[in-house]
Structure 1
Amino acid sequence: AAVARIGGDEFAIVLRGLATAGKAQKVARKIHRNITQPFSLGGNRVSIDVNIGIAPCDAEYDSPEEILRDADIAMHYAKERKDGPAVFTKELRHRFLERVRFEMDLRHAVERNELSMHYQPIVSLLDGRLSGFEALLRWHHPEFGNIPPNKFIPIAESSDLIQPITNWILLETTKQIAAWQKIGSDLADLEVSVNIAGRHLSSDDLSDQVENALENSGIRPETLKLEITESTAMENAERSISLLNRLKGLGVKLSIDDFGTGYSSLSYLHRLPFDTLKIDRSFVSGAGERGEDSGILQTIISLGTNLKMRLVAEGIETEAQLAMLRNLGCDYGQGYLISKPRAAEDIEKLLYERHAWLPSSKDPAIELHSDSDSQPHIPLF
């Protein structure tokens, strides 16, 4: 075997005498297991993360550079999948090239007016009063049509594109909510929620972008809500407390999104300056139509209530789920029972009509979700 350093934190291993990719995987798993073992350093318990890609050498390759290229593609797939070493395949190459193409096109999407915002209403589950909207990004590609958010948003998050795109979203959504707040006095307190990626949360320019959007739109800071996922907030809890307090100082509200899917420490959760706790859709659907498996959901609602947070349930799709959440004491909700995400012009029409957001018993069958916002996260390539 030969081992060489090929980059700052990248190493290559050449193994001879392995007849199959499966044998290479066995060696790679052993390396992975040994490197990721926690160890003591300066009295602290630390661990190292490692991602391994495997490229079987065969007659297809003309140079060592080509082998390294494909091993690198497999390594990035392993990094995204987080499930141990990955073996290169031609399908991975196709996905990788597609990802590169989409990343290049996404760089020009704002200036070409290919991006737009859709808005999903958030309403009081008690009386149906409209509280605000979650802003959701859409991309209409000139060649491939509508690209699913779970395909292009991870590309933006893993590159330097997330910061300028989020800045555009902040400017666009605050301008839009400012216009809607002026429709009538009953809409003056409408809020808009914007998702903030983990990578952008730690950047120095986020607070400047938020402040700029508030100044340009003229909306009251408390009507802008920033959503941060539980896993992002808890990845480095001490740093998150500092970053979130800085944003809180601007007067905006903060939501912890997809709550229940991460591993929050309660000792940190009460120190994080969140105003709203959003319950992940998996707990709503998993509770059963009659709430027979609602124990975890009840616990989350009780936790949010004790922490004096507003509670928002995601993914409400049936009237039975709506009734269950009301009985459990959940304040607010969103989902396809209430409304799918809609373009700004469609929302504006409904606002002028003073649309009733909660269904009556006489409503026709509700259109269940088919939108990609509710699909699970997929690999970058």
Structure 2
Amino acid sequence: MPSAPEGIEAWLEALPIPAAVVELTDGRIAEATSNALFRNVTGRGRGSLFDPARLGDRALAFLASSDPISQFGWLDDQGVDRRHYRVRFARLADGRAAGVPCALVSLVDRTVEAETAIHRRGDMMRDPLTGLLNRAGFAEAVSLLQREDRAGELAVLVVDLSRFSRINVCMGADVGDALIVTVGRRLRGALRVYDQLGRIGGDEFAILLHLIDGPGDALHVARRIEEILAEPVGLSDFEIRVDCAIGVAISTESDGEDEDIVRHAQFALRRAKESGRIEIYRNRAFTEARRRFSIETELRRAIENDKLSLAFQPIVSLGEDRLVGFEALARWRTEAGEEIAPGDFIPVAEESGLIIPLGRWALDAAGRMLARWEAETGQVLPLSLSVNLSAIQLIRDDVPRQLEDVLHRHGLGGHRFTLELTESAIINDPDRAARVMGALKDLDARLAMDDFGTGYSNLAMLQSLPVDILKIDRSFVTTMLADRDKVAIVRAVLSLAHALGMETTAEGVETIELSQTLAALGCTYGQGFHYAPPLDAATALAFWSRWQP
């Protein structure tokens, strides 16, 4: 380790880089000695750079340590213009007196390089079309403000332009770009000086607001935006009316990561598109949406790995008091052991499109189980299984082919299956429904209309379709003995079915009195807790055995 040389001024002047020597005397930095290059680069007099607010504290820390060298980047923004330096401290053995801690300080001016990088990064944070913050730039602005104590309560508004893709297709990308620029200018004009605006998607803008008078500020701005965008835009000899949807999130509802507030505003935006009005994010709604997403993710994995099961609810012939089959119902226990109710995962499956692979799985699992029961008992069981079909399956999937594959795979006849459809599944696309139902009948399957009476109940359509069984919804059955009107409804459905040559199944049979009354009224089948709740496969087979004479 070299010592500070005698004639230190001359030694420093001979160095080809900006440099200075500092000493630690009585716990403070003594007057620094620097060369002309150092003074020219810093633009200050001797020692001024080593004030505590500048490099003084860093120099003190280095001299008090045992480190031989320390290097770091440093921004000096105390002068007229800010300068970026690469600073290097190198320890010298002694100062002017023996035993005095001493260091050589050298500087490399990196201002041009650093400022260029800053400008380049700034360009990366801007949308090239509008000059507004892009998604990354807006997220950074939110993050910075969230971390400032003075930021207070914030709000993010996300504005989506309705039918923008149609404008792009019909009028061209140039007109679409001009519209985006015009909307950006209008939005900027609707905001206060300290609010921030970004374009975070093709036709999606985001606004960061400081709330002075609480959430009411955000609603006020959102309504003003609606009014401003309602004014037609004149482009390419056309007057284009811009409708929008707006979602709002408040920082007090977003206590997690910095970007949560933007995500919450986009969640509110999705609800705004459905409702047609400004929507404010509410934590409970987002929690439910997050749970639905979690269910979708786990359900997809469960279907792929065959981790669901079927429960089997008995169907009994009321006139003969004989077990004729089971309705196969999907059940799901997650890997964590949580039972997810069908009322929770079936709607998620329908919304996400998973209802198609779920329906295929249920049909195959039912066929597999029926074949397994017959292998265990060594006989052909006089049983049929009812499997539910969703409207989405009927429209999007090739159900007849799926059934044909199941029958071939498990060596079963089509008469062993009853496929249950809802009225809505048929009404959504009656022509396709008729074709699919005809193809299923060709495979000898039976068809049941589920929950009859709760939907449209189009009798003319019902007459034209190859329906074998009408299922009377439990809402009419369970309390019919105490409600004369419901008895009349059930009697009317039974009469209609008889006139059309159809059989009937009553759901929700929970007492022997209901079973006897329905049998007296001419109902063909019944199912409900009076007979048994949905059973697992082994229990269902044992239940069938007990019903045999």
Distance 1:22 1:324, change over 3 A: farther
Q: Give the letter for the 1:109 counterpart.
A: A
Percent identity of paired positions between Structure 1 and Structure 2: 32
- Residues 290-333 of structure 1, C-alpha deviations (whole Å, 9 max, x = no match): 86741111111111111111100001011221122122111111
- Residues 197-241 of structure 1, C-alpha deviations (whole Å, 9 max, x = no match): 110111243222111001011111111111101122122323321
In structure 1, which of residues 66, 70, 73 is the aligned counterpart of residue 267 of structure 2?
A: 70
Q: Which residue of 1 aligns with 2:463?
A: 270
Distance in 2 (CA, whole Å) between partners of 1:333 and 1:23 is 58
Distance 1:53 1:265, change over 3 A: farther
For structure 1, the 5+ residue unaligned runs are: 28-51, 357-381
- The answer as to 2:474 corresponding to 1:317 is no
Alignment map for 1:179-328 (pairs within 5 Å): 179-181=372-374, 183=377, 188-289=381-482, 293-328=486-521
Distance in 1 (CA, whole Å) between partners of 2:386 and 2:476 is 21
Q: Which residue of 2 aligns with 1:145?
A: 338
Give the match's secondary structure for 1:339.
Answer: coil
Distance 1:23 1:263, change over 3 A: farther
CA shift, 1:289, in A, is 4.2
Distance in 1 (CA, whole Å) between partners of 2:508 and 2:426 is 22
- Residues 249-301 of structure 1, C-alpha deviations (whole Å, 9 max, x = no match): 22211110000000122111101111111000011024234867411111111
Give the match's secondary structure for 2:310.
Answer: strand
Q: Which residue of 2 aligns with 1:44?
A: none
Q: CA RMSD in A?
A: 3.6
Distance in 2 (CA, whole Å) between partners of 1:21 and 1:13 is 15
Give the match's secondary structure for 2:250.
Answer: coil
Q: Which residue of 2 aligns with 1:161?
A: 354
The answer (yes or no) to whether the contact 2:162–2:245 under 8 Å persists in 1 is no
The answer (yes or no) to whether the contact 2:395–2:429 under 8 Å persists in 1 is no
Distance 1:65 1:20, change over 3 A: closer
In structure 2, which of residues 289, 296, 307 is the aligned counterpart of residue 103 of structure 1?
A: 296
- Residues 107-163 of structure 1, C-alpha deviations (whole Å, 9 max, x = no match): 111344431000001011112111111000000112251111110111111223222
Distance in 1 (CA, whole Å) between partners of 2:481 and 2:223 is 42
Q: Give the letter for the 1:55 counterpart.
A: G
Distance 1:293 1:252, change over 3 A: closer
The answer (yes or no) to whether the contact 1:234–1:264 under 8 Å persists in 2 is no
Give the match's secondary structure for 1:202.
Answer: helix
The answer (yes or no) to whether the contact 1:315–1:335 under 8 Å persists in 2 is yes
- The answer as to 2:132 corresponding to 1:4 is no
CA shift, 1:246, in A, is 2.2
Distance in 2 (CA, whole Å) between partners of 1:320 and 1:84 is 51
Higher relative contact order (CA 8 A, sep 6+): 1
Q: Which has the higher helix share?
A: 2
Distance in 1 (CA, whole Å) between partners of 2:300 and 2:515 is 41
Normalising by the residue count of structure 1, what TM-score does the alignment of the two structures yield? 0.75
Give the match's secondary structure for 2:303.
Answer: coil
Distance in 2 (CA, whole Å) between partners of 1:25 and 1:329 is 61
The answer (yes or no) to whether the contact 1:121–1:130 under 8 Å persists in 2 is yes
Q: Which residue of 2 aligns with 1:346?
A: 539
Distance in 1 (CA, whole Å) between partners of 2:420 and 2:368 is 18
| Alignment: residue pair count | 327
- The answer as to 2:250 corresponding to 1:58 is yes
Which segment is superposed worse, 10-19 or 158-167? 10-19
Distance in 2 (CA, whole Å) between partners of 1:288 and 1:22 is 52
Distance in 2 (CA, whole Å) between partners of 1:3 and 1:113 is 40
CA shift, 1:350, in A, is 2.2
Q: Give the letter for the 1:4 counterpart.
A: L
Q: Give the letter for the 2:393 counterpart.
A: H
Distance 1:54 1:136, change over 3 A: farther
Distance in 1 (CA, whole Å) between partners of 2:218 and 2:460 is 45
CA shift, 1:106, in A, is 0.8
Distance in 1 (CA, whole Å) between partners of 2:471 and 2:303 is 29
Distance in 1 (CA, whole Å) between partners of 2:334 and 2:221 is 40
The answer (yes or no) to whether the contact 2:384–2:418 under 8 Å persists in 1 is yes
Distance 1:332 1:99, change over 3 A: same
CA shift, 1:176, in A, is 1.6
Distance in 1 (CA, whole Å) between partners of 2:262 and 2:458 is 45
Alignment map for 1:25-64 (pairs within 5 Å): 55-59=247-251
Give the match's secondary structure for 2:402.
Answer: helix
For structure 2, the 5+ residue unaligned runs are: 1-158, 167-201, 225-243
Which segment is superposed worse, 122-131 or 132-141? 122-131
- Residues 10-31 of structure 1, C-alpha deviations (whole Å, 9 max, x = no match): 987999999489999999xxxx
